[in-house]
């Protein structure tokens, strides 16, 4: 028999043969291409075929590092401020402007899940009766960790600044320590790029403690934290010989973290999309193929199998 078997279907028990260079073979090739290529084009051109970014929810493991840099402005003059930090080198540079506050902090795990949920921070700055605080700049340093996808470890800060035309007695702040991402995080591995000090506490140079330089270096990072919605409440009317008080509550909220999916996650989503569209094409072109060969739209040689003859039929034939 000339040609090769091009098509057969178990339901119809007929095989269709034709030459390799026949129209039927060409049509079969074309149908094959039309079945498998267009689903790919449809999936790709309707966007989102390759998963470029994804997101997950995680509460970070945040701990306050007990590193503080505090500057209280007491007047409009260039040298009228009081400062203190947890860095001895900075304190040495302040000389007579150094004022040691009373500090009390407490971190609380409200839902007992092993991760801290908020920080209570209280700073009492003793003042003389002639001194008045009109502005506050405060840096708190945190250790910030994410574990669910990649292990991301960094030292981050919360910067708080408030100025008022009226001298204050009390500043109340309540906000969230939010993650600020300029770049997608990895899906696996250990990321310690930013596990470096926000403030170089060992440096003897004044420039290393300049707020402008600290913030400039910090903002160079692609992943930072920021004190969001601090809602500062400035209270005036300080009684003589009472300290200036900063009361801050900083929440460590759940974060939506954007990350770059890995190879298998990308392939998985592409495969799901491709195969689900391919199934429709397979069904449609399967029907077209059956139609074309059954109705001899393109000339082929149908070969029907010789069915095994049953003994009963043989007997009856013999009788007649």
Partner 1 sequence: MASLGVLVPARFLALTAHLVAVLTILWAREPHVLASLPLEFAPEEYARADTELLVALGTTVALLALELGGFFAGVSMFHPPQALLSATAHGGATLALGFFLFERWGCGAYWGVLGAGSVLPAATELLLLVVVLGCKRKRL
> Least CB distance from residue 312 to partner 1, whole Å?
34
Q: How many angstroms separate the CA atoms of 119 and 108, rounded? A: 6
How many Cα atoms are found within 13 Å in the side-chain-facing hemisphere of 70? 24
In angstroms, the Cα distances linking 13 to 7, 143, 197, 291 are 11, 72, 77, 15
The yes or no reply on residue 21 touching partner 1 (CB under 8 A) is no
The yes or no reply on residue 43 touching partner 1 (CB under 8 A) is no
Which H or E run contains 61? strand 61-73
Member of 8, 34, 151, 211 binding partner 1 (CB under 8 A): 34
Stretch that binds partner 1, among 53-61, 70-78, 160-168, 296-304 (CB under 8 A): 296-304
Binding mask 46-65 for partner 1 (x = CB under 8 A): x-------------------
Output 28 or 185, the one with its CB closest to partner 1.
28
The yes or no reply on residue 23 touching partner 1 (CB under 8 A) is yes
The yes or no reply on residue 304 touching partner 1 (CB under 8 A) is no
> Least CB distance from residue 14 to partner 1, whole Å?
15
Q: Is 284 helix (H, G, I), strand (E, B) or coil?
A: helix
The yes or no reply on residue 291 touching partner 1 (CB under 8 A) is yes
List, as one string, the DSSP characters of 62-124.
EEEEEEEEEEEE-SSSTT-EEEEES-HHHHHHHGGGB-PPEEEEEEE-TT-SSS--EEEEEEE
- Helices (H), ranges, 13-53: 23-45
The yes or no reply on residue 38 touching partner 1 (CB under 8 A) is yes
Residues forming the site for partner 1 (CB under 8 A) = 23, 27, 30, 34, 38, 42, 45-46, 288, 291-292, 295-298
């Amino acid at each position: 028999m000339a040609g090769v078997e091009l098509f057969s279907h178990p339901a119809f028990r007929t095989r269709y043969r034709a030459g390799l260079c026949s129209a039927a073979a060409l049509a079969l090739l074309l149908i094959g291409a039309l079945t498998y290529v267009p689903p790919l084009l449809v999936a790709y051109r309707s966007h989102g075929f390759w998963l470029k970014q994804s997101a997950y929810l995680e509460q970070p493991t945040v701990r306050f590092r007990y590193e503080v840099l505090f500057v209280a402005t007491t007047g409009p003059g260039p040298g009228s401020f009081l400062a203190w930090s947890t860095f001895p080198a900075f304190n040495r540079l302040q000389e007579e402007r150094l004022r040691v506050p009373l500090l009390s902090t407490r971190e609380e795990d409200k839902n007992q899940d092993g991760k801290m949920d908020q920080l209570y921070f209280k700073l009492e700055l003793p003042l003389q009766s002639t001194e008045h605080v009109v502005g506050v700049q405060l840096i708190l340093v945190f250790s910030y960790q994410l574990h669910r996808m990649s292990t991301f470890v960094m030292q981050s800060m919360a910067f708080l600044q408030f100025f008022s035309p009226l001298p204050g007695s009390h500043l109340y702040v309540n906000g969230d320590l939010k993650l600020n991402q300029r770049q997608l995080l990895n899906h696996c591995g250990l990321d310690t790029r930013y596990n470096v000090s926000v403030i170089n506490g060992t440096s003897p140079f004044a420039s290393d403690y300049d707020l402008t330089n600290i913030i400039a270096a910090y903002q160079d990072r692609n992943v930072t934290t920021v004190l969001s919605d601090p809602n500062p409440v400035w209270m005036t009317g300080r009684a003589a010989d009472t300290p200036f008080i900063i009361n801050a509550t900083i929440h460590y909220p759940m974060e939506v973290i954007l990350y770059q999916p890995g190879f298998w996650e990308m392939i998985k989503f592409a495969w799901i999309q491709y195969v689900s569209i391919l199934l429709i094409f397979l069904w449609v072109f399967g029907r077209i193929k059956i139609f074309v060969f059954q109705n001899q739209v393109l000339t082929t040689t149908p070969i029907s199998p010789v069915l095994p003859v049953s003994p009963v039929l043989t007997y009856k034939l013999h009788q007649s």
